Amino acid sequence: MKTISLESISLEAAAEIARQALAHARSQNMAPVAVAVLDPRGTLKAFLAEDGTSLLRFNIAFGKAWGSLGMGFGGRKLTERNAKTPEFINALQAMSEGKMVPVPGGVLIRNAQGAIVGAVGVSGETSENDELCSMHGVQAVGLAADAQ
């Protein structure tokens, strides 16, 4: 598989990450999921939602990816921080006007040099399964998925 070296996730790569994340959910017979892929500025590059996803799935998927970008680490680490310092996460929620969703499912996308080139968030299944879909989508295009 070809490794992509870039400074920001391309539209083509973002769309493929979303498609691959959905494909993984289907291959595992998961509930319908939604996938949001953001560039390093937090701008939406791609969004796909399967039939049957609920109304808030976009907001949750976007919030998982956006929170990971904002803090510079994945949703799994945000969850760990929330358990240790919930007042800090509450402050982040207030500062982000509620955009941040601090649970697994949001992962950073890193290029071959380790630089953050975007983030992906998945919502619709358990947080752990959402994270697996995110990671699968990123790895399918030859980039590194960072959930920590």
Task: Specify if 60 maps to a domain.
Answer: yes
Kindly give the confidence (pLDDT) of every residue in the chain, 148 residues in length, as a single tens digit, with 9 standing for 90 and above: 454 446 899 999 999 999 999 999 999 999 999 999 999 999 999 999 999 999 999 999 999 999 999 999 998 898 888 889 889 888 888 888 888 888 899 999 999 999 999 999 999 999 999 999 999 999 999 999 999 8
pTM reported for the whole predicted model: 0.91
> Residue 36 gets which letter from DSSP?
E
In a domain, 34, yes or no: yes
pLDDT digits (tens, 9 = 90+) for 107-135: 999 999 999 999 999 999 999 999 999 99
Number of helices followed by number of strands (H, E) in the chain: 5, 5
Using a 10 angstrom Cβ sphere, with 0-12 exposed, 13-18 middle and 19 or more buried, the burial of residue 2 is exposed
Instruction: Give a yes or no: residue 96 inside a domain.
Output: yes
What's the CATH code of the domain at 113? Answer: 3.30.450.150
Q: What is the pLDDT of residue 6?
A: 63
Q: Does residue 2 form part of some domain? A: no
- Give domain status of residue 85, yes or no: yes
Residue 6 is assigned to a structural domain of this protein: no
Helix or strand run (H / E) with residue 17? helix 11-27
pLDDT score of 1: 47
Domain hosting residue 122, numbered range: 11-146
CA distance 99 to 67: 7
Q: Is 43 exposed, middle or buried (0-12, 13-18, 19+ CB in 10 A)?
A: exposed
| pLDDT tens-place string over residues 18-28 | 999 999 999 99
* Torsion of Cα atoms, 68 then 15 then 124 then 75, to 10°: -10
Whether 33 is in a domain gets the answer yes
Total count of domains within the chain: 1
| Residue 112 is assigned to a structural domain of this protein | yes
